[in-house]
Structure 1
Amino acid sequence: MSAEQASEPTVVIVGRPNVGKSTLFNRLIGRRRAITLDVPGVTRDPVSEAVEWNGRRLRLVDTGGLGGEDVIDLAERVHEHTMKTIAGADAAVVVFDVRAGVSPLDRDTVETIQRCGIPAVYVANKADGPAQEAEAVEFCRLGIEPPLTVSAEHGGGLAQLRQAILECIPARGPEEALASGAEAPIRVALVGRPNVGKSSLLNRIAGHELALVDDRPGTTRDVVDTLVERGGRRYLLVDTAGMRRPSRVGAGVERLSVRRSIAAIRRAEVAVVMIEPDEGMTDQDARIARLAWDEGRAVVIAVNKIDRLGEGADRAALAAETLRRYPTLGSAPIVFLSVLRSQGIDDCFAAIDRAVAAHRIEIRTTDINRIVAAAAERRQPPVVAGRRLHLLYAAQTGRRPPTITLFVNRSGVPADYTRFLERCFREALPLEGTPLRLRFHRRSSHGPHRR
């Protein structure tokens, strides 16, 4: 091994035979390096390849399957070789076959990795559709959190897997630490109707004029990205063009600017929706906030130009009126600021931080099921198609935004009961500012049906 290879973090891909390790390896390196066949035991010797993701170099190693000694030639020697590779690795990607379900060999693999004491990313492969993605929660029986779902055959879920791998391995040196996903700046899109103060806020935070400011609406046309640091955290602020009602958007430059603003929302983690106190939240403001919310982005509502209302302004009443008119935005925090007077900007960043923490939250499976059980006691699940709905099991199956899959015995959970469950989760967990997605997967109370 060269000195360059020795300095690269090593990530080993492990699992029982025929779960798709080599196919996943080929997908991750971007070319067909490892031989893949639909029979167990094809890979014997570890195959490695250096890759670079987001400015970080690492070495991926494909290995032979763990187990299967009674049916695969040379399986014992392959197992021994794989164990030596694991011992020298910095992290592991543990692969399961979601179609086949949980196997005793899967449990052996998990226990092996845990004994080695290296960090691991758990992956349920062959998740080619929503049904398989939901079944991945079954692997929590192995004492792990819900695995990531991927389809190595079709390339699904690879971006999320790459990010999880980068978060799992240590950064080597300051340059890699800067490029690491853990150190990446928080992307914040400043959005709203024209002339609500988005560019003024950007300039005030940066300390000098980065975006042109004018009283005439429509001054900003391009999306302006600015990197700032506050309180030891880095933020990438994205100033966007004002978005008017669709019927009032002109052709040409304005229409292109609005499209860019929508794209900026989609690449941000949190959207700060700026409004004015004179009118309060308008229908267009609510549409912009709902767009960000439906895209799965955290949302903070910032009421700018509060100095116009005077010192005795009833901010609580303004916030209450906003939530009364637009109750679907009730989970978004509301902050008040005056960019002109540099007031409330710290409060705005504090709300951004809380929303981002909620957006990234990881919830223990035991806590989720405790909340579900308490909700069922508090309000009995309804009768659906002649039978009582049962909430069998639940687990977190996604982040950014947090997503919870609930296994139930009936399809068609009523919308009002879904809203009740969401309210129970929000009362029990710090979820201010983030969407919460609840998904329901029907299965038998005696266990999942498998083909």
Structure 2
Amino acid sequence: MTATVAIVGRPNVGKSTLFNRLVGKKLALVDDRPGVTRDRREGEAKLGDLEFRIIDTAGLEEATEESLLGRMRAQTEAAIADADVILFVVDARAGILPADRPFAEMVRRSGKPVILIANKAEGGSGMAGAYDAFSLGLGDPVPLSAEHGEGMADLFESLMPYFPDPNDMEDEEDDPNKPLQVAIVGRPNAGKSTLINRMVGEERLLTGPEAGITRDSISLDWEWRGRPIKLFDTAGLRKRARVEDKLEKLSVADALRAVRFAEVVVVLLDATIPFEKQDLSIVDLVEQEGRALVIGLNKWDLVADQQGLLKDLKEKATRLLPQVRGAPVVPLSGLAGSGIDPLMKAVFQVYEKWNTRIPTAKLNQWLSEALEANPPPAVSGRRIKIRYMTQVKSRPPHFAVFGNQLDALPKSYTRYLVNGLREAFDLPGTPIRVSLRMGQNPFDKERK
């Protein structure tokens, strides 16, 4: 989804000039007189390989709601609410004026990520004003000259976090005609082949009481409720120390490859001996590969106290598998053919969560509340500062957190953020990735 960027600031700081520079056309009227822009103006902006929707706004001024200035301000406030990122522009030649401060506080309260722009920063006097912009408390200012096109590379770097990394991008179109890749994995003799035979409605795969019958990862085309599925049956995964036979090593490697290429992985447990150490290792492997996960409790027809055991096993899953908290636990019987519909409903549910994209504005509103409830700790007397967060990709959801001293952020705090994201945005059982990125100071001499 295209990001929306709003340009705000007091009158006559060069907002419309910056708007024209980003859209590549003189769409907005520009004049030395303040207050030329009154309505919100939108355009399609391009900066480097970034493409986004840009909104030019009227200059912010104190006024009553009924007045023209008040109505212009309301239009600007609406643009701020609609934006994913705010460019707060100040005049570097004039320095920070008293009129800048209340509006800096207003954009800070919005909870949206703010990039501070020190415009008209060409020449020595302009750079001095850019240093003055630090006092607004909106982070490092980006010095530029919208009129002369200077500093646009620094603006590009500041906007980059709000756009997916081209190297991370995948073909994420959810094409209903494209088969959903589902791998069934588990320990030997968990009943994987029997389950798949019941799903496809024929004895397609060889089964029997002997463990390890399946050697190759077999793919089968199937359809569930009109949706094409490609099922992968895999060899049973034993503890690595026990795998000595060369053929079994190849079978295990083939099973691991099936996990990597799958979109959803069903880890099949034997309900009569669930959550063995190897089961936990297999779930951990699926999480490390970033696949969507469903836990299937096979041989459920052999369980006596089904209701009591299901409750107990769900609690065990939460306790033993915190890295995929909330993963669906589905009782079924491959032999009897029961539980297949609930299993497939869970498969599509986790697939949808795995594809989740969260708007940057919502993310940062949540982040602000999370930081207020539990601020990051201090290191050597300086508190770690987290500024903003954005989602860089999905499949699985991957978030980038930006701030200062993040290399000292404890792992426990990263877990706090991951658990909060899972709960706030309803991502049960989905692997969540968080990358910590520290921004660079544009005035850092070493960088230059």
TM-score bucket (shorter structure): 0.5 to 0.7
Which SS does the other structure have where 1:203 is aligned?
Answer: helix
State the partner residue of 2:190.
Answer: 196
Q: Secondary structure at the match of 1:418?
A: helix
Structure 1 portions without partners, runs of 5+: 1-65, 70-91, 98-105, 113-134, 151-156, 168-179
2:164 corresponds in structure 1 to 147
Matched, 1:438 2:390: no
Q: Deviations over 1:348-402 (max 9, x none)?
A: 1111111111111111001110111111111122113431122201100011111
> CA 1:328 to 1:396, structure 2 compared with 1: closer, same or farther past 3 Å?
closer
| Compared CA separation, residues 285 and 190, structure 1 to 2 (3 A) | same
Instruction: Tell me what 1:427 maps to.
Output: 423
Greater relative contact order structure (CA < 8 Å, 6+ sep): 2
For residues 110-143 of structure 1, the C-alpha deviation after alignment (integer angstroms, 9 at most, x for no partner) is 669xxxxxxxxxxxxxxxxxxxxxx9883369xx
Correspondence for 2:358: 363
Distance 2:175 2:386 in 1: 36
Instruction: Write out aligned runs for 1:149-298 (5 A).
Output: 149-150=166-167, 160=169, 163=171, 167=173, 181=175, 183-298=177-292
| Structure 1 position 319, deviation (Å) | 1.9
Q: Equivalences for 1:264-343 in 2 at 5 Å? A: 264-310=258-304, 312-314=306-308, 315-343=310-338
Indicate the residue corresponding to 1:36 in structure 2.
none
**Distance in 1 (alpha carbons) for counterparts of 2:443 and 2:254:** 47
The CA distance in 2 between the partners of 1:390 and 1:349, in whole Å, is: 43
**Secondary structure of the corresponding residue to residue 392 of structure 1:** strand
- 1:349 equivalenced with 2:335 (yes/no): no
Superimposed CA distance per residue, residues 232-265 of structure 1 (whole angstroms, 9 cap, x where no aligned partner): 3221110000011112113221111001000000
**Higher mean displacement: 189-198 or 314-323:** 314-323
Q: 2-side partners of 1:95 and 1:242: how far apart?
A: 51
Q: Deviations over 1:276-311 (max 9, x none)?
A: 122211111111111111011111111101111125
Q: Tell me which amino acid in the other structure corresponds to 2:208.
A: D
- Cα drift, residue 183 of structure 1: 2.9
Assess if the C-alpha contact under 8 Å between 1:275 and 1:303 holds in 2.
Answer: yes
Q: If the length of structure 2 is used for normalisation, what is the TM-score?
A: 0.63
Identity of counterpart residues, as a percentage?
Answer: 34
Measured at CA, do residues 446 and 420 of structure 1 come closer, stay the same or move farther in structure 2, by a change above 3 Å? farther
Q: Tell me if structure 1 keeps the 8 A contact 2:164–2:391.
A: no
> Separation in 2 of the partners of 1:319 and 1:206?
28
Say whether the 8 Å CA contact 2:324–2:429 is kept in structure 1.
no
Q: Secondary structure at the match of 2:408?
A: coil
The answer as to 2:113 corresponding to 1:96 is no
Count matched residues: 308
Residues 322/402 of structure 1: CA separation in 2 closer, same or farther (3 Å cut):
closer
Question: 1:270: Cα distance to partner?
Answer: 1.3
For residue 401 of structure 1, give the secondary structure of its aligned residue in structure 2: coil
Q: Does structure 2 retain, via aligned residues, the 8 Å contact 1:355–1:433?
A: yes
Instruction: Return the alpha-carbon distance in structure 1 between the equivalents of residues 395 and 340 of structure 2.
Output: 24
Secondary structure of 1:183's aligned partner: coil
8 A contact 1:354–1:432 mirrored in 2 = no
Aligned-partner Cα distance in 2 for 1:429–1:140: 24
Offset at residue 220 of structure 1 (A): 0.5
Cα pair 1:303 1:334 within 8 Å, conserved = yes
Q: Secondary structure at the match of 1:148?
A: coil
TM-score normalized by structure 1? 0.62
- Correspondence for 1:118: none
Asked if residue 377 in structure 1 is aligned to residue 394 in structure 2, the reply is no
- Higher radius of gyration, 1 or 2: 2
Alpha-carbon separation, structure 1, partners of 2:226 and 2:329: 24
**Partners of 1:361 and 1:148 in 2: how far apart?**
17
Per the alignment, in what secondary structure is the counterpart of residue 149 of structure 1?
A: coil
User: Which ranges of structure 2 fall in alignment gaps of 5 or more residues?
Assistant: 1-22, 27-43, 56-154
Give, as a single letter, the amino acid of the residue that structure 1 aligns with 2:158.
E
- 1-side partners of 2:391 and 2:418: how far apart? 13
CA contact (8 A) 2:24 2:45 kept: no
Distance in 2 (CA, whole Å) between partners of 1:276 and 1:362 is 34
Q: Do the aligned residues in 2 keep the contact of 1:136 with 1:147 (CA within 8 Å)?
A: no
Distance 2:196 2:391 in 1: 36
Counterpart-to-counterpart distance in 2, 1:354 and 1:270: 10
1:278 to 1:136, Cα distance in 2 relative to 1, 3 A: farther
Please say if 1:417 is aligned against 2:369. no
Shift of 1:322: 3.5
Q: What amino acid does structure 2 have at the position aligned with 1:438? A: V
User: What is the distance in 2 between the residues matched to 1:188 and 1:219?
Assistant: 20
Question: 1:437 & 1:111 partners in 2: Cα distance?
Answer: 29
Structure 1 residues 323 and 447, CA gap change in structure 2 (3 angstroms)? farther
Secondary structure of 2:228 counterpart: strand
- Tell me the secondary structure at the aligned position of residue 393 of structure 1: strand
Q: Is the CA contact (8 Å cut-off) linking 2:47 and 2:156 kept in structure 1?
A: no
